[in-house]
């Protein structure tokens, strides 16, 4: 029997397949439920693959979107940083303009309060050698600046003009050893001479021993030297001398003006002396 099946296996297999196909055809054509075993197998195989494909695709899409978002966030962060730097620069510039306006307003108010004429000028350079305490102004003879004029700011005494040219002037600062200003102690009206060259910046000399002066006292101009307007701040007493003998006392003074931060100043003509007219400008001319 087995030998017979082996010898006729091919025809038998062919007949079996034909009968199965005929049975499927009859079944499907009868209007009943369609029988498709290959379709079922295909569906069972393809469905997990399609599901896995969708998951992989979704994961890749999420990864790409995250990358795009990250790149966008970095670009936005760099833009924000750049914008912050720009705004800080604008704020600094606006602050500098505001501070300059404030200084110039104070300078104008001082100019209007002083008797006589005054010329506003800028500090263009300062002596860095340490041998002399001088600075250069951007105004000179053509602006009416002359030797011997006082130089002040709203903060106090700066110095006096010692040399001029048509378009510039050199000033001797208050704390130079060659300077000298007739001064008063504001609280007691004790009189002395303020000179430069001390460790504190300046020194009040020739104050009569009987006068009452103390650390913390404010020192102002007396107006008696014929150069500086009366009542301008000079500085503050920070140390009293230890002299045990003699007719006079000495005190160390911290200047009211920070000479390292000077920018704009007023050049003031001595009392009863007007700023000379600008050369070449006709009287009453526009």
**Closest by alpha carbon to 248, among 201, 210, 283?**
210
> Cα 245 to chain center, whole Å?
53
Greater model confidence, 131 or 219? 219
Q: In this model, does residue 256 exceed pLDDT 90?
A: yes
At residue 69, does pLDDT exceed 50?
yes
* pLDDT value at residue 284: 39
Q: Which residues contact residue 147 at a Cβ distance below 8 angstroms, ignoring those fewer than 6 apart?
A: 161, 162, 163, 164
Tell me which range, 20-29, 80-89, 166-175, is most confidently predicted by mean pLDDT: 166-175
Name the more confident of 281 and 257.
Answer: 257
For 223, phi and psi rounded to 5 degrees?
Answer: 80, 0
Sign of CA dihedral 222, 224, 227, 229: positive
Rounded to 10 degrees, the C-alpha dihedral 192/177/254/260 comes to: 140
Q: What confidence tens digit (pLDDT) does each residue in 98-120 have? A: 767 777 787 778 778 787 788 99
Q: What whole-number distance in Å separates Cα of residue 93 and Cα of residue 86? A: 11
Q: Say how far apart CA 191 and CA 194 lie, in whole Å.
A: 10
Residue 10 has pLDDT above 50, yes or no: yes
Q: Which of 47-61, 74-88, 249-263 has the least mean pLDDT?
A: 47-61
Asked if 205 contacts 126 with a C-beta cutoff of 8 angstroms, the reply is no
- pLDDT at residue 244, rounded to an integer: 63
State residue 92's pLDDT score.
74
Residue 193 has pLDDT above 90, yes or no: yes
Q: Which CATH architecture has domain 118-268?
A: Beta Barrel (2.40)
Using an 8 Å Cβ cutoff, are 231 and 223 in contact? yes
Residue 257 contacts residue 158 (beta carbons within 8 Å): yes
Mean pLDDT in residue range 90-103 = 72
pTM of the model as a whole: 0.63
Q: Name which of 55-59, 114-118, 263-267 the model is least confident about.
A: 55-59
Span 65-88, average pLDDT: 76
Pick from 229, 180, 186, 222: nearest CA to 204: 180
Domain residue spans of the chain: 39-113, 118-268
């Amino acid at each position: 029997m087995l030998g017979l099946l082996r010898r006729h296996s091919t025809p038998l297999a062919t007949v079996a397949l034909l009968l199965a196909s005929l049975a499927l055809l009859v079944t499907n054509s009868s209007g009943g439920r369609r029988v498709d075993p290959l379709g079922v197998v295909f569906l069972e195989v393809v469905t997990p693959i399609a599901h896995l494909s969708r998951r992989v695709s979704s994961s890749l899409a999420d990864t790409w979107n995250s990358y795009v978002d990250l790149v966008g966030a970095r670009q936005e962060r760099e833009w924000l940083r750049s914008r912050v730097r720009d705004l800080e620069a604008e704020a600094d510039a606006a602050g500098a303009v505001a501070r300059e306006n404030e200084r110039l307003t104070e300078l104008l108010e001082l100019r209007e309060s002083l008797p006589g004429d005054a010329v506003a000028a800028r500090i263009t350079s300062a002596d860095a050698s340490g041998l002399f305490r001088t600075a250069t102004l951007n105004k000179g003879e053509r602006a009416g600046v002359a030797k011997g004029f006082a130089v002040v700011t709203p903060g106090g005494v700066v110095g006096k003009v010692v040399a001029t040219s048509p378009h510039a002037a050199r000033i001797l600062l208050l704390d130079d050893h060659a300077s000298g200003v007739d001064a008063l102690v504001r609280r007691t009206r004790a009189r002395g001479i303020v000179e430069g060259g001390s460790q504190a910046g300046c020194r009040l000399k020739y104050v009569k021993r009987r006068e009452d002066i103390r650390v913390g006292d404010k020192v102002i101009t007396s107006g008696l030297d014929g150069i500086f307007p009366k009542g301008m701040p000079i500085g503050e007493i920070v140390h009293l001398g230890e002299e045990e003998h003699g007719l006079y006392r000495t005190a160390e003074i911290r200047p009211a003006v920070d000479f390292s931060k000077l920018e704009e100043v007023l050049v003031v003509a001595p009392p009863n002396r007007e700023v000379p007219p600008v050369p070449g400008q006709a009287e009453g001319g526009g």
